């Protein structure tokens, strides 16, 4: 199990890499057989190819991410972060929960937000 510091650093790297605009680098943060459920309740994306396609589209929207609170670790192989995704005039308040493998790669990501978390202006 990776340390809390490794998990927090990986999640900060996710924010920084996404904002840098390189979908391939974001996808490389994931294990080969990882899954993404963004938002929770949507179809699961599994494997590096589907994850890369998801981030290629997400980054192309011009979205920028900013933390709303410190990243939280756990006593297990998971961590969470609250952040805002700004896409044009809309801000989406999100909580991502990621699980990790021994190498510190994401094995899953679940993004929690609903219609009430979309803010205009």
Catalytic site includes residue 30 = no
Tokens of 18: 């996404």
Q: Are 100 and 115 in contact (CB under 8 A)?
A: no
Candidates 14, 30, 55, 96; catalytic one: 14
Place of tokens 């410190």: 70
Q: CA of 37: how far to CAs of 6, 75, 82, 104, in Å?
A: 22, 23, 16, 19
Catalytic site includes residue 14 = yes
Candidates 16, 30, 33, 38; catalytic one: 38
Q: CA of 46: how far to CAs of 26, 40, 101, 110, in Å?
A: 15, 14, 15, 12
Query: How far is Cα 5 from Cα 121, in angstroms, rounded to an integer?
Result: 35
Which residues have a catalytic role annotated? 14, 38
């Amino acid at each position: 199990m990776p340390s809390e510091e490794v998990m927090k650093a990986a999640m900060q790297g996710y924010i920084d890499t996404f904002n840098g605009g390189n979908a391939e680098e974001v996808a490389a943060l994931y294990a080969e057989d990882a899954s993404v459920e963004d938002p929770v309740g949507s179809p699961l994306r599994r494997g590096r190819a589907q994850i890369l396609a998801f981030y290629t589209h997400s980054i192309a929207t011009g979205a920028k991410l900013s933390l709303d609170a410190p990243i939280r670790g756990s006593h297990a192989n998971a961590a969470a972060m609250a952040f805002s995704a700004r896409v044009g005039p809309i801000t989406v308040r999100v909580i991502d929960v990621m699980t990790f493998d021994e190498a510190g790669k994401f094995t899953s990501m679940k993004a929690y937000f609903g219609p009430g978390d979309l803010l205009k202006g």
